[in-house]
Amino acid sequence: MINEFSVFRSIDKINDSTHLIKVYSPSIAASAKPGQFCNIKVSDNNFPLLRRPFSICDVNGDEIHFLFDIHGEGTRLLCNKKNGDTLDILGPLGSGFKIEGDYDTAVIVAGGLGSAPFPFLIKKLPANKKIVSFVGGRSKDLVLTYGLKNVFTATDDGSDGFNGTVVELLKMELENFSKNKIRIFSCGPNPMLKALQLFSIQNNYDCQLSLESAMACGFGICQGCPVESADGESYLLVCKDGPIFNADQVKL
Amino acid sequence: MNGIDLSVNVGGLKLKNPVLLASGTVGYGNEIAEFTDLNKIGGIVTKSVSLKPRKGNPPQRIVETPSGMLNAIGLANVGIEKFITEKIPFLKKYDTALICNIAASTVEEYVECVRILKDEDAIKAFEINVSCPNVKEGGLEFGNDLKAVGRITEKVKSVTDKPVIIKLSPNVSKISEFAKVVKQSGGDAVSAINTLVGTSFDINTRRPKIKNITGGLSGPAIKPVALAKVLEIKRNSDIPIIGIGGIMNWKDAVEMMIVGASAFQIGTVNFINPNAGLEIISGLAEYCEKHNIKKISELTGSYQI
Ligand SMILES: Cc1cc2nc3c(=O)[nH]c(=O)nc-3n(C[C@H](O)[C@H](O)[C@H](O)COP(=O)(O)OP(=O)(O)OC[C@H]3O[C@@H](n4cnc5c(N)ncnc54)[C@H](O)[C@@H]3O)c2cc1C
Ligand SMILES: Cc1cc2nc3c(=O)[nH]c(=O)nc-3n(C[C@H](O)[C@H](O)[C@H](O)COP(=O)(O)O)c2cc1C
Ligand code: FES
């Protein structure tokens, strides 16, 4: 965990609503792992007061990349940054995806902006792993396939790929894989993660979920980001114990 | 920085500088230690600890507000047993004053907690939280009741020789009355303020943004309130005050000391800038140098009205 004053390098539009920013942040880049995130101060003053968390989308040498949509004030300010601006970033934060282990195929399941952490994961997966990506969105323009491999798409309105949810699509396609040999890596909206969690627990699939939560600090000191443990006994912290959890670890 | 004495004495609690990290905003120190040098900080006030572990409130626990945030964590904590076996050993390693904040739902429970902890050498003082707005029992129920605050102060003092600081609620009409009661009951200092009760609703769903409906407001938004409360206490009582509320930088800290604080705590700012404490310390030293102040304690209550 480092607090690094980074340099804003570039911003590009990936589609109508999604932006990709590249930031020169050598120390964070050097220690980042796929699935981790950064907490970014988007202004120099108290408005907005809190940092904003974003998944590390990719790391390229000394640069970190982030992928985001304009959501509210914070992301609007981020979008207005100019090349050369300083950006105050805390990172890398949280646990990353567990990528070691005995599996043949990495199955990526993403909904909407949930695609964000996967370009970096794909880069870091051992070369012998097969990769297949399932990506869902409400409609064609909300299906984000940036940096993904071997993509199957699903849309709620049928405007692209399978007509239905990405988890329904996954259920159909997974018939073609031997279940002991896959590991699911997922990120997306809560209803999607919930459906996927149920499906993987029922079928004994090895599955990791990337969760979101409102956050203040992003590194474990405020206790603002709880998720209930599967046994209901305690709360885990999304920022520190996660954001990546095994499907059987948490109650969504 | 040469020659400026930053040390302070708050009701018998000696600190190498007036900067304390506020309860609930640094956990038990281990995470923030990755970003800042705790050896340089005046002291750490640990997350409110209760006799038994507390799970805390369900999500959503926090929401951002203009220049502030609301929280309803619900005093989630590891309980006193784990606090002793797992948290104190880590904190002991640092050359900083350890102040243990205690929450409870009965007078007896406060006393019991202090009794269990009083022989821990590492603990330099107790801060008694009678002002948490986010739990059903204990919290504000006590913080609003002059007699209860007096009784808690007296009983806790009777089981320990260490300084006892009572953390006051701003959610009362006359905070100085509470400070006076603490003083009369043998308390060594007060800290003020805890968070202000607030809420926030989603206009589309018409639902509260935090599950607990109300939460405690903190951050720069509450600084003017905190300053006014500290000033009110200072003008009506001679009990030492630890000022808390909305301090983001050394200027805010100087202001807090001018209105009457002997030391101060920083809370919400730690979430945004985990090195804020150290930056404030150097800012304070520079300010003193510039204004020809030899001892930082000269600032306390130095307002010109
Ligand atoms: C670990 C993590 C990784 C993320 N990665 C990405 C990413 O790669 N790309 C991306 O576009 N977005 C990501 N997000 C979401 C991103 O943080 C929000 O889009 C961003 O905070 C919006 O800020 P804003 O000021 O524009 O929006 P506003 O809605 O004006 O403000 C956001 C406020 O809403 C609250 N909030 C944020 N997220 C939630 C939530 N899930 N539940 C409840 N309240 C919330 C916060 O307290 C914050 O103060 C991630 C979130 C987390 C927790
Ligand atoms: C997330 C959060 C948790 C807190 N938990 C506690 C607590 O457990 N006990 C306590 O006495 N005060 C608690 N506080 C109050 C702070 O110690 C402090 O009084 C308050 O935040 C005002 O200071 P600030 O504006 O610098 O944050 C908490 C505050 C926040 C923001
Ligand atoms: S965001 Fe502060 S503990 Fe997780």
Question: Do A180 and A121 lie in a common domain?
Answer: yes
Considering A59, A93, A127, which residue would you say is the last residue of a domain? Answer: A93
Question: Do A83 and A156 lie in a common domain?
Answer: no
Prior bond to B4 cis, omega within 30? no
Whole-number Å distance between alpha carbons of A136 and A196: 13
The reply to whether B207 falls in a domain is no
The reply to whether B68 falls in a domain is no
Q: Give φ, ψ of B228 to 5 degrees.
A: -65, -40
B237 min Cα distance to partner chain A (Å): 33
Question: Do A147 and A120 lie in a common domain?
Answer: yes
If one counts the domains in chain B, the total is 1
The reply to whether A113 falls in a domain is yes
pLDDT, one tens digit per residue, over A2-14 is: 999 999 999 999 9
Alpha helices, DSSP H, located in chain B: 79-82, 88-92, 107-117, 139-143, 146-159, 175-184, 223-236, 250-258, 269-272, 276-290
- Domain containing residue B112: 8-56+74-196+217-299
* pLDDT reading at A99 higher than 80: yes
The reply to whether B234 falls in a domain is yes
Q: Which ligand is nearest to the CA of B76?
A: 2
Residues in contact with B215: Cβ distance below 8 Å, sequence separation at least 6, in sequence order? B61, B62, B63, B70, B71, B72, B133, B134, B195, B197, B198, B199
The reply to whether A99 falls in a domain is no
- Domain containing residue A42: 2-93
Q: Are A108 and A44 in contact (CB under 8 A)?
A: no
Strands B19-21 vs A206-210: parallel, antiparallel or unpaired: unpaired
Whole-number Å distance between alpha carbons of A208 and A250: 11
pLDDT at B132: 73
Whole-number Å distance between alpha carbons of B156 and B126: 9
Is there an atom of ligand 3 within 6 Å of A237 CB? yes
pLDDT at A240: 98
Whole-number Å distance between alpha carbons of B135 and B50: 12
Question: Do A55 and A162 lie in a common domain?
Answer: no
Decide: residue B95, CB within 10 A, 0-12 exposed, 13-18 middle, 19+ buried: exposed
Q: Are A110 and A135 in contact (CB under 8 A)?
A: yes
* A1 contact B CB<8A: yes
pLDDT, one tens digit per residue, over A186-234 is: 999 999 999 999 999 999 999 999 999 999 999 999 999 999 999 999 9
Contacts of A225 in chain B (CB under 8 A): 59, 61-62
Question: Do A27 and A54 lie in a common domain?
Answer: yes
The reply to whether B41 falls in a domain is yes
Question: Do A121 and A237 lie in a common domain?
Answer: yes
Whole-number Å distance between alpha carbons of B73 and B100: 18
Question: Do A118 and A224 lie in a common domain?
Answer: yes
Question: Could you tell me the sign of the dihedral formed by the alpha carbons of B26, B32, B36, B42, in that order?
Answer: positive
Question: Do A68 and A186 lie in a common domain?
Answer: no
Question: Do A215 and A177 lie in a common domain?
Answer: yes
Give the single-character DSSP code of B48. P
The reply to whether A252 falls in a domain is no
Give the single-character DSSP code of B77. B
pLDDT at A199: 96
The reply to whether A100 falls in a domain is no
Q: Are B46 and B24 in contact (CB under 8 A)?
A: no
H or E, element range at B71: strand B68-71
If one counts the domains in chain A, the total is 2
Q: How many helices (H) and strands (E) does chain A have?
A: 5, 17
SS3 (DSSP) at A182:
strand
Give the single-character DSSP code of A141. G
* A217 contact B CB<8A: yes
The reply to whether B3 falls in a domain is no
Alpha helices, DSSP H, located in chain A: 26-31, 73-79, 118-124, 166-173, 190-202
Burial state string for B137-174 with b = 16 or more CB within 10 A and e = fewer than 16: ebbbebbbbeeebbbbbbbbbebbebbbbbbbbbbbee
CA angle (A222 as vertex; B300, B227 as ends), nearest 5: 25
pTM higher than 0.80, yes or no?
A: yes
CATH label of the domain that carries residue A160: 3.40.50.80
Beta bridge partner(s), residue A53: A39
Pocket of ligand 1 (CB under 6 A): A 37, 48, 50, 52-55, 66-69, 71-75, 113, 116, 212-215, 243; B 60, 63-64
Strands B97-102 vs B43-45: parallel, antiparallel or unpaired: parallel
Closest-CA residue, ligand 2 atom 10, reads B23
H or E, element range at A107: strand A105-111
CATH label of the domain that carries residue B14: 3.20.20.70
Prior bond to A92 cis, omega within 30? yes
Question: Could you tell me the sign of the dihedral formed by the alpha carbons of A169, A170, A175, A177, in that order?
Answer: positive
Question: Do A89 and A111 lie in a common domain?
Answer: no
**Inter-CA distances, A206 with A27, A77, A174, A220, A235, Å:** 32, 39, 13, 27, 22
Task: Give me the count of residues in chain B.
Answer: 305
Give the single-character DSSP code of A96. -
Q: Which amino acid is at B46?
A: T
Task: Give me the count of residues in chain A.
Answer: 252
The reply to whether A98 falls in a domain is no
Cα B295 to ligand 3 centroid, rounded to whole Å: 37
Q: How much is the average pLDDT of A68-92? A: 96
Whole-number Å distance between alpha carbons of A134 and A169: 8
Question: Do A48 and A119 lie in a common domain?
Answer: no
Whole-number Å distance between alpha carbons of B189 and B183: 8
The reply to whether B1 falls in a domain is no
The reply to whether B142 falls in a domain is yes
The reply to whether A42 falls in a domain is yes
* Interface contact flag, B268 A216, Cβ < 8 Å: yes
Quick one: which of B242, B200, B190 has its CA closest to B221?
B200
- As given in the structure block, the two tokens for residue A214 are 């409102």
Residues in contact with A127: Cβ distance below 8 Å, sequence separation at least 6, in sequence order? none
B28 min Cα distance to partner chain A (Å): 8
- pLDDT tens per residue across all 305 residues of chain B: 568 999 999 999 999 999 999 999 999 999 999 999 999 999 999 999 999 999 999 999 999 999 999 999 999 999 999 999 999 999 999 999 999 999 998 999 999 999 999 999 999 999 999 987 666 665 667 888 999 999 999 999 999 999 999 999 999 999 999 999 999 999 999 999 999 999 999 999 999 999 999 999 999 999 999 999 999 999 999 999 999 999 999 999 999 999 999 999 999 999 999 999 999 999 999 999 999 999 999 999 999 99
Mutate to test the interface with A, among B62, B75, B90, B210 (most CBs of A within 10 A): B62
- What ipTM was assigned to the predicted interfaces of this complex? 0.96
pLDDT, one tens digit per residue, over B118-156 is: 999 999 999 999 987 666 665 667 888 999 999 999 999
Question: Do A215 and A121 lie in a common domain?
Answer: yes
pLDDT at B225: 98
The reply to whether A251 falls in a domain is no
CATH label of the domain that carries residue A51: 2.40.30.10
The reply to whether B212 falls in a domain is no
Beta bridge partner(s), residue A109: A134, A186
Give the single-character DSSP code of A72. S
